[in-house]
Every structure is written in C-alpha cells, then in structure tokens.
Amino acid sequence: MSYLSEGYSLRSWLTTHDHKRIGVLYMVAITAFFFLGGAAAALMRLELATPAGDVVSAETYNKLFTIHGVIMVWFFLIPSIPSVLGNFLVPLMIGARDMAFPRLNLASWYIYVLGGLFTVAALVAGGVDTGWTFYTPYSTTFSDTNVILVIVGVFVTGFSSILTGLNIVVTVHKLRAPGLTWFRLPLFVWANYATSLILLLATPVLAMTLALVALERLFHIGIFDPALGGDPLLFQHLFWFYSHPAVYIMVLPAMGVASEIIPCFARRPVFGYRFMAYAILGIASLGFLVWGHHMFVSGQSMYAGIVFSMLSFLVAIPSAIKVFNWTATLYKGSIVFGAPMLYALGFVGLFTIGGLTGLFLASLALDVHLTDTYFVIAHFHYIMVGGSVMAYLGGIHFWWPKICGRMYPEMLGRIAALTIFFGFNLTFFPQYLLGWLGMPRRYHEYPPEFQLLNLFSSAGAAVLAVGYFLPLAYLGWSLFFGKTASSNPWQATGLEWQTASPPPQHNFEQEPSVERGPYQYSVRSNEYGSQVR
Amino acid sequence: MAQPAVSGTAQWLLAAASDIAARVDVLFFSLLALTGAVAIAIFVLMIVFSVRYRAGSRVDRSNPPTNVRWLELGWTFTPLAIFLGIFVWAAVVYARFYTPAPDAMAIFIVGKQWMWKAEHANGRREIDELHLPAGQPVRLILSTEDVIHSFFVPAFRIKQDAVPGRYTSISFTPTREGEYWLHCAEYCGTDHARMGGRVVVMAPAAFAQWLERGNSNPSLAARGFELFRRNGCSGCHAAGSSVHAPDLAGVYGRVVHLADGRSVVADEGYLRDSILLPKRDVVAGYQPIMPSFQGQLDEGELAALISFLKENK
C-alpha cells in the first residue's frame, strides 16, 4: 500500500508525519506562492514595456517588486528544493523510514504557512514598498507601508527553514542505511546536507536583523537610523551575512538535482565525484565570507571592499569545477534527452552564464558601474531562475513517477522545458545590456532609449509565463490520466528507485543494505549497478 | 520621464566621459572576451558531446574516465590564477575612485527625497543638475538629508551611495564635453525613478563663466564663517578664547591625536562627526565639553562650515 493510499481525507494529510506527504504539502504551498510572485513580476514587465509609468502608479510598482522579491525568495526559492524534494527524497536516498523528527517536520510546514499568511495579510492590507532587502533607514523610519507585517511573515517562516535544516542534518548523520558511508552518498544528499547547515547557521542572523528593524520601527530604539544614533551600514552587513549565503541555499540543492539527472540520462558515473562533494562544502563555507561584495559602493572601507572582492573570486572556483564536471560527465555517455535532462542541461547552461557574469560584479571597478542596475537583476535571475527553478522543475519531472506513481507526458515535458529556456533567455539576456547601458533597477519609469530592450524582456516574460503554466497543466492531468509508473522508470541507481512508485508509508519493505557508491551507470543498456545488491 | 533631453547616452554604445570610464571599459571588454570564450567553449563541448554521444550513435565509448587528477587540478588552479589577476586589475582601478588628485575640486552633493542638490565652492547651487569643467579632477562629497541614495552617472562609470549620518566620496576627472544622465541608483521610495537629471561637462572657460553667471550667493567658506560666528563656534574655538578648546586654524588634513590614544586625519568626515557627535573623537588634552549640533544644522550648512574650516589656515 503506497503512502498516497494511507488516507484520502484532508485530515489525513494535515496531520501526517510522513516526510513524503509533508514534501507534497510543501509542493502545493510553494506552487501557489510561485504563481503569486510570478503575477507580480508579470505586472512589472507589463509596466516596463513602455518608458512612461502608465500601467500602475509608482507606489504600486514599488510594492510589486517588493512582494515579488519577498515571495520568490522566502516563500518559493528557499523552501523549493530542500523542503519539497529534500523532504521527499533524503530519507529515501539514505534508506531511512522517515526524517529524524517527523513531528518537527510537520511543524515546519505549519510555521511556513503561518509566515505566508502574515505576508499575504500584508499584501491584502495594502502591501509594502521597501524592496525585499528592507534597507534602513527607509524601512525603519520613512516607509509608511505594512513593513511590520511582512517582517513578521519572513521572521516566522525563517523558523521553518531552521527546523527543516535541523531535520535534514540530523537525518543524514543518524539514519543512513547500513553500508551507506559518507562517500557513497548521492550528491543530492550532500547538497541538501550542506544547504541545511547554511539554513541552521544563517537564518538566525536574519531573524535577529529583522527583529532589530521591528524594534527600531516600533519603539524608535536607535540601531540603524543615524538620527536615533544607529548605523545604516550595520543593517547591510547583517542582512547580507544571511542573504548572500541564502543564494547558496537556493543554488546548492539545484546543483544536487543536476548531479542526479545528468549521470542517469548520460548513463555515466558523475565525473569527479569527490571533487563534486568537496566543491559543495567549499561553496557552503566560502559563501559565508563574501557578503560585503553587495556593498562596494555603500561607503564601507575601500580595504574591506578589496578583501571581499578577493574572497568572491575564490567562491567562483568550486562553482566552475562543478560546471566542468557536469560537462565531462557527458563525454562517452549514451545520452537520452528526456524532459528532466533538458531541464538539467538548461540549468548548467544558464548557471554558467549567471556564474560568469558574477565575475564582473566581483570585479571592484566594474561593480561600481554595474551594481544596482539591470545587470545585477539579470545576473541573479540567471542563477536563481535559470539555475534553481530550471533544476527544481527538472527534479519534479525526474521524481514525478516516484512521487505520484504516474508518468508525465514526455513530449509536453520537452516542449515546456524548451519554452522556458527560450522565454527565460529572451526575458533576462536583454537586461544584461540594459544594465551595462546604465538602467538602474527598481525604476518605474526609464529613459526612452531603453525601450527596445525592455520590450524584448517583456515579450520574453510572456513566453516564460506560458512555459510555467504548461507543467502545471500537464502534471495535474497526469495525476489522474498519466501512464502508471514502474518502480524504476529511468533505470537509475539510487535507493529511492529500489522501492515501489509511489513508495509505501515507511519507504522500504525491508531496510536496504548498501553495497556501493552512487552512479554506477554504464552505456550498455541494463548494465547498471544500483546501490543495493 | 520628465527630464531634460540628454544627448550623451542616447546611443547604443555607452559614452565614456571620464578618465576612469576608459579604464573600466578596457577591463569590461577584456573580461567579456575571456568569459565569452569560456562560455562558448563549454557550450560547444556540451553540444558536441550531446550530439556525438546521443543514445544509439555508433561511436567509441570504451574506457570512459571518471577521475582524471591532472585535469581536475588543472581546471581548479588555472581559473584561480586568472581570477586573482582580474581581482588585482579591478582593485587597482577601483582604488582610483578613492584616491583624489591633490588639486581635485571638491563639490558637496546632497541627496533628498527625491532630488540631488549640488553646492559649488563659490556658493553656486544647482538642483538635479551638475555642471563640471572638462579635464579638471573632481571630488564629490556626498551626504543625504533622509534615506540612502546613490549618485550614478553611467557615462562616468561612477556610482556612490549617499549614506545618512556620514560623508562618502568618489573622485574622477570628466574628460568629454556633453550632457549625460544622472540617476539615483539606490531605491529611496516613491519617486526613486524620477530622482535624477543631467550632468553637463563644459569647456573650462565656459564652466568658469557659468559658475559666476547669476550667482549672488556668498562662497561656501564665507557662509561657513558666518555660521561659525552665529552658532557660537568662534566663542570657544577662536584664538584668545577663555574656554579651553582646540584651535581650528589649519586643522583640515592634519593628524589629530585623540584622548583615547587614537590618531585620525582631520578629513570632512572627522569634522562632520566633531560637530554632530563631539563626544566621539575628543582631542587629547581637552575636556569633552562641546555640545552636539545634531538637528541644528542641515547638510548645506554643514558643508559650508566644513568648507570654511578647510580654508581657515
């Protein structure tokens, strides 16, 4: 009996302790937020189709980009892969019956939903206009919008991050199946483990920072506003101490997904497994030391800028290693271009462009010109949307048969992947040019010479919207009408494929005993070594 | 946008109108060539592998490598060396923004929701515009009356945040006559997108004319001297005063020894703090008796006072 047929009532879902059901609950919740955040972006692109501010007012536009950022960062990207796929897959991949703390796992979902309700309440109450970065003293003294409600929402949701991170760390440490040594772990598990460490260490700093913003705003305790005796740059240091590692919270799990899909569809062991694992740990730790690269023109000391610039170049090295290794994994493979593979290859390509343009921003003198322009917008969307969202969708397709026991329609899957890839590039590539030409971000109106590039970008957003609605439609359809999936439709090697699709409540009929490392693929069909005998 | 027509940037290639712009562009296009080559190499490899090793193709697949130590070390340390080179290059150019020429012309820029005010030394003020002479090194000293703003002139490749409670500065030399966009680049509230205007770079003679034309204001330093007396500063700080306070003649640029053992150079930031937060940097040998002028002087008045102190030799 599969975990899906353990109960059909709403109550059976809302009171479940099963990590797989909680993963599905997260999937439903973050999908709703994704389309809400996407709607805000669509309105922004509509406004920016013309230089004049004619679709919405300046106040509304400022609220749109704020809510787009808040929702996409904290209510979609950060929980996306760890809380949905990580929740569902980490216990399966390590041969565990469940997470280490199943009740805490459910609690983290409820906390996430509570934080989401505060944020939606702020939206209903009229929105907030500080930008997702809440820079002081604008957020503490000058904005007259619902700053406190949104801060409470993000603050509360942070605890769901912390609990999920804690759960994954303990689960990976304590619940690995016999024989599953650290260097037999799939890279997806490594990635989620490293991400969870960041969630645990960085999120409390965000919580403290937001609490201080609320204290200053509500009680005029001088922390960040110099008129009250505070220091506005202190806020930026604290905020980016969380928010730069948060980028790696979003992209490390995406790397994990790509590292599962590419070997499977190329029928090759991943190239340089150990370097890949070390690169994940290297990114997670160096990522804590580069926050000041968001502040090269903020008035921080020139010498601080120089140190942060050098460290930022260092963090690019492990990312480069990963791209080279994925490419080398294709060499002498036997490559099948299923939809998950198209998403994964798209991820590698877009992540490469996003990563390389990051070098421009790490270069001090170039950052002075490029920061706070559309170049930055393009750069981080290539990482977070081109990278993380592509990988998330690739992962959803790859593990869809495992999650619901049905196959998605393959041809539609490929069409959607290509549509998203094309729409994404059309939306965001022109923004690099806009940034170089000097168009600042967060502009409701802009000089007329920028219109052509903005039109391309807005047209791309329309294509992207179609691309994102396609999977929503056909995946929904496949839940009821898709072909029934076998336990291992991709002939993959991981433990999650050695149990039924969908898996039973406690994952395995009997505890698996792990014999070998992951990715024992071979180009000769049917000749592959699963991790169990 | 409700802004004057600007000729300088209404073209596909961004104008390079400062000494640093040319250096930034060389760096930008070099890095573009390098990263472009890397990206193309990766994409070509991905496509070639994808086509050649597609399932069902009849090609040699024997002995696929999974660990090649020299290759892995090579693609770790080669980028490292290149990255460190770019880092140094970019840092050297960056340092120029913060190393003003000795003869740099200081201009105070004040941000305010949602306008830029510029105060020239001779007292001439302008709003949402900045006139500069070509070929003259300039040092902008930025402050703000309210939230953080950022002074951004794409044609100069300069950008600097104006941060409440302190001075920030950036230095460059405008080189090409023309009109260029001025923007606010740090989000500052409702009319952020409208906060800006133009920078006009003029021939030195034309600039000198413009500076005098229609200017009935006293110079910043003269206004500062007036404020120095009106606010009672001179009562303590003048030579021969009965109150024991530091003599301020020639203080600008000097090394000041503080009561807590630190030594600081008396720059604009130090003078500003000494007026607004006098307890912060107490000069060695003096009592912390000076009252704070926080809230009593606006940014324009501070700029005037500091200009006076700079010229008071």
Full set of structural domains in chain A with CATH: 3-498 (1.20.210.10)
What type of residue sits at position B33? A
Q: Is the pLDDT of residue B113 over 90?
A: yes
From chain B residues 178-217, the ones with a CB under 8 A of any chain A CB are 181, 183-194
What global pTM score does this model have? 0.95
pLDDT in tens, A418-445: 999 999 999 999 999 999 999 999 999 9
Q: Scanning the structure block, which residue is given the tokens 């945040």?
A: B161
pLDDT in tens, B220-232: 999 999 999 999 8
Task: Report how far residue B147's alpha carbon sits from residue A508's, in angstroms, rounded to the nearest whole number.
Answer: 58
Is B22's Cβ below 8 Å from some Cβ in A?
A: no
Nearest CB to A138 within list B43, B165, B189: B189
Among B48, B83, B158, which would you mutate to test the A interface (most chain A Cβ atoms within 10 Å of its Cβ)? B83
Is A346's Cβ below 8 Å from some Cβ in B?
A: no
ipTM for this prediction: 0.93
Q: Is the pLDDT of residue B1 over 50?
A: no
Nearest CA in chain A to B52: A332
Q: Is the pLDDT of residue B2 over 70?
A: no
Q: Is the pLDDT of residue B12 over 90?
A: no
Burial code of B167-181, b = ≥16 C-beta within 10 A, e = fewer? bbbbbbbbbbbbbbb
Nearest CA in chain A to B46: A327
Long-range contacts of B68-74 (CB under 8 A, 24+ apart): B68/A272, B71/A328, B72/A272, B72/A275, B72/A321, B72/A325
Task: Report how far residue B148's alpha carbon sits from residue B126's, in angstroms, rounded to the nearest whole number.
Answer: 20
pLDDT in tens, A56-103: 999 999 999 999 999 999 999 999 999 999 999 999 999 999 999 999
Q: Which candidate, B44, B67, B55, places its Cα nearest to that of A332?
A: B55
Helix (H) or strand (E) holding B119: strand B115-119
A489: left (phi over 0), alpha (psi -120 to 50) or beta: alpha
What's the CA angle centered on A81, arms A79 and A85, to 5 degrees? Answer: 115
Flag if B54 and A268 touch (Cβ within 8 Å): no
Report the length, in residues, of chain B. 313
Task: Report how far residue B255's alpha carbon sits from residue B88's, in angstroms, rounded to the nearest whole number.
Answer: 30
Task: Report how far residue A303's alpha carbon sits from residue A305's, in angstroms, rounded to the nearest whole number.
Answer: 5
Pairing of strands B168-172, B138-144: antiparallel
The predicted structure's pLDDT at residue A130: 96
Is B29's Cβ below 8 Å from some Cβ in A?
A: no
pLDDT in tens, B125-182: 999 999 999 999 999 999 999 999 999 999 999 999 999 999 999 999 999 999 999 9
Which pair of structure tokens corresponds to residue B140? 């902008």
**CATH architecture type of domain B105-212:** Sandwich (2.60)
> Looking at beta carbons, which residues of chain A come within 8 Å of B3?
447
First-to-last C-alpha distance (Å) of chain A = 24
Which of A105-109, A323-327, B276-280 comes out lowest in average pLDDT?
Answer: B276-280
Q: Which candidate, A335, A339, A347, places its Cα nearest to that of A482?
A: A339
Is B70's Cβ below 8 Å from some Cβ in A?
A: no
Percent of chain B with pLDDT over 70: 96
> Looking at beta carbons, which residues of chain B come within 8 Å of A353?
39
Class for domain B220-311, per CATH?
A: mainly alpha
Among B6, B94, B194, B195, which would you mutate to test the A interface (most chain A Cβ atoms within 10 Å of its Cβ)? B94
CB atoms within 10 A of CB B297: 17
Instruction: Return the axis-axis angle of helices A102-124 and A147-174, rounded to nearest 10°.
Output: 160
More confident residue, B157 or B6: B157
CA distances from A527 to A272, A435, B170 (A): 21, 50, 64
Beta-strand (E) ranges in A181-225? none
pLDDT band at B239 (very low <50, low <70, confident <90, very high): confident
How confident is the model over A507-521, as a mean pLDDT?
92
How confident is the model over A166-176, as a mean pLDDT?
97
All structural domains of chain B with their residue ranges: 19-54+66-97, 105-212, 220-311
Which of A348-357, A404-413, B215-224 comes out lowest in average pLDDT?
Answer: B215-224
The dihedral of CA B79, B82, B85, B87: what is its sign? negative
Task: Report how far residue A283's alpha carbon sits from residue B237's, in angstroms, rounded to the nearest whole number.
Answer: 56
The predicted structure's pLDDT at residue B235: 87
Ordered alpha helix ranges (H), B62-203: 69-97
